[in-house]
Amino acid sequence: MTLDEECKGCLYNSQMKKVERTESDGAKIEEFKSRVRKLCENPPEAYCAPLLMRDIDKIHRDIFGHGIDYSSEKKMFNSAVLAMEEEVYGAVMSSPDPIAGAVKYAAAANYIDFAKLSDLSEDSLDMVSAAAQRTVPNPQTLALFKERLLSGKNLLYVHDNCGEVVFDKILIRVIGALYPGIKITSLVRGGEIINDATRVDAGFIGLSRYAAVEDSGAAIPGTYLKEINARSLALLENSDVIISKGLGNLETLYGEGYDIFYIFMCKCEHIAKRFGYTQWSTAFVYEGKQTAA
- Residue 270 — very low, low, confident or very high, per pLDDT cuts 50/70/90? confident
What is the rounded CA–CA span in Å between residue 54 and residue 144? 34
**144-162 per-position pLDDT tens digit:** 999 999 999 999 999 999 9
Average pLDDT over residues 170-177: 98
| Residue 212 near residue 183, CB atoms below 8 Å | yes
- Residue 77 — very low, low, confident or very high, per pLDDT cuts 50/70/90? confident
3-state class of 118 per DSSP?
A: coil
Average pLDDT over residues 215-225: 97
What is the rounded CA–CA span in Å between residue 1 and residue 3? 7
262 pLDDT more than 70: yes
Helices then strands, each counted (H, E), the chain: 12, 6
What percent of the chain clears pLDDT 70, i.e. is strictly above it?
94
Average pLDDT over residues 274-293: 81
pLDDT for the residue 292: 43
Architecture of domain 71-291: 3-Layer(aba) Sandwich (3.40)
pLDDT for the residue 114: 57
Helices (H), 65-184: 71-93, 98-108, 124-134, 139-151, 164-178
| Beta strands at 183-188 and 154-158: parallel, antiparallel or unpaired | parallel
pLDDT for the residue 28: 96
pLDDT for the residue 10: 78
Query: Domain locations in the chain?
Result: 5-64, 71-291
What is the rounded CA–CA span in Å between residue 180 and residue 196? 28
Average pLDDT over residues 16-30: 91
**87-142 per-position pLDDT tens digit:** 999 999 999 999 999 999 999 888 776 555 555 556 667 767 777 878 889 999 99
What is the rounded CA–CA span in Å between residue 6 and residue 29? 23
What is the rounded CA–CA span in Å between residue 277 and residue 122? 27
pLDDT for the residue 293: 41
Average pLDDT over residues 244-252: 95
pLDDT for the residue 290: 57
pLDDT for the residue 6: 74
Average pLDDT over residues 261-278: 90
210 pLDDT more than 60: yes
Mean pLDDT estimate for the chain: 90
**180-207 per-position pLDDT tens digit:** 999 999 999 999 998 899 999 999 999 9
pLDDT for the residue 131: 73
232 pLDDT more than 70: yes
pLDDT for the residue 101: 96
Please give the distance of CA 243 from its chain centroid, rounded to a whole number.
11
Please state the pTM of the whole predicted model. Answer: 0.92
